Amino acid sequence: MAGISTAWADQAKSDVLSAGQCMLPTVTPTGNLTNTAFTAVGMSSVSGVAVGMAASGTGIPAGAVVASLDSASQITLSKAATATNTGVTITLTGDAYKFALIKHTPTGTYGQASQYYSDITGNSDEVSGTGYTATGFALTNGAIAVGSHVAYTQPTTNPSWTSATIDTDGGMMYDTSVRLWPGNRCVATFDFGGEQKVTAGTLTIVLPTNNSSSALLRLS
């Protein structure tokens, strides 16, 4: 039966256990790079750093990721530095997530069994209209916290569209970074509780209070 339910996708739970998702927010420690070397030494911090995070900075080639965490002050990158510099700001980012909108009265069913963003497009169920760009809104990862034995997180920005003419019943948060194949893997789907329609205006998805009992994504 077509429709949308609010649910953390079963595949996403499996992906978390498979290290197939990285929701860590961006961190910017400093480190020392040497031309042709893969290691960044003298790191100011490796807190919040995980293998696979995208790395960028002066002398770091495009496409480099964290290959290993070697100590509290050293990481190894997947690509060798192209310059020697000290105190380089190294930007390390987690996966890039998006929030796509599902059109009013979709033909597909979205919920725990949802697997990919392509579930939406395969049914031609993505919203289309002025102010909406296919694939959805780019999210910014928030901090991951633990409270009352629950790990929780949510993006820091409410997804929203302005000067938009949109008719939607729900949405999907999905991971555009590829750690498992195929990519664009669904994290969760959201039922908006009824048709949400706007004409030449603003539609905002207000994320819940960010705590252990109501945050967008919670693991107990």
Partner 1 sequence: MAGIVRVLTTDGGTHPPEKYAMATAELLTPMGIGAEAGRPDNNGPAALMLRAKIAQALIPHHHKVKHTEIGRLRDKGHDHLASDIDPREHSGDALKAVLDCSKGTPWEAQHASADVQQAMQGEINRMFHSAMREEREHHARKNAGHPKCDAFVEAWHPGSTKQAGV
Q: Does 157 bind partner 1 (CB under 8 A)?
A: yes
Long-range CB contacts for residues 83-86, cutoff 8 Å, separation at least 24: 83/33, 83/35, 83/58, 83/59, 84/33, 84/34, 84/35, 84/59, 85/32, 85/33, 85/58, 85/59, 86/32, 86/42
Distance CA 77, CA 67 (A): 5
Binding partner 1 (rule: CB under 8 A), the pick from 135, 177, 178, 183 is 135
The reply to whether 190 sits near partner 1 by the rule CB under 8 A is yes
Query: Per CB under 8 A, does 158 bind partner 1?
Result: yes
Piece of the chain touching partner 1 by CB under 8 A; list 24-32, 54-62, 81-89, 212-220: 212-220
3-state class (DSSP) for residue 106? coil
Give every CB contact of residue 44 below 8 A, 6+ residues apart in sequence: 29, 30, 31
* Residue 203 binds partner 1 (CB under 8 A): yes
Q: Is residue 97 a contact point for partner 1 (CB under 8 A)? A: no
Q: For residues 69 and 138, what is the distance between their CA atoms, to the nearest angstrom?
A: 28
217 binds partner 1 (CB under 8 A): yes
For residue 192, the minimal CB distance to partner 1 (Å) is: 5
Give the Cα separation of 128 and 105 in Å (integer). 13
Segment contacting partner 1 (CB under 8 A): 35-43, 87-95, 119-127, 160-168? Answer: 160-168
- Interface with partner 1, residue 74, by CB under 8 A: no
CB 39 to partner 1: min, Å? 32
Report the C-alpha gap between 40 and 31 in whole angstroms.
6
Interaction between residue 208 and partner 1 (CB under 8 A): yes
Residue 10 main-chain phi, psi, to 5 deg: -55, -40
Q: CB of 84: closest distance to partner 1 in angstroms?
A: 31
Return the sign of the alpha-carbon dihedral for residues 68, 69, 71, 74. positive
- Closest distance of CB 209 from partner 1, Å: 5
Chain positions contacting partner 1, by CB under 8 A: 6-8, 98, 131-138, 154, 156-158, 160-163, 171, 188-190, 192-193, 196-211, 213-218, 220
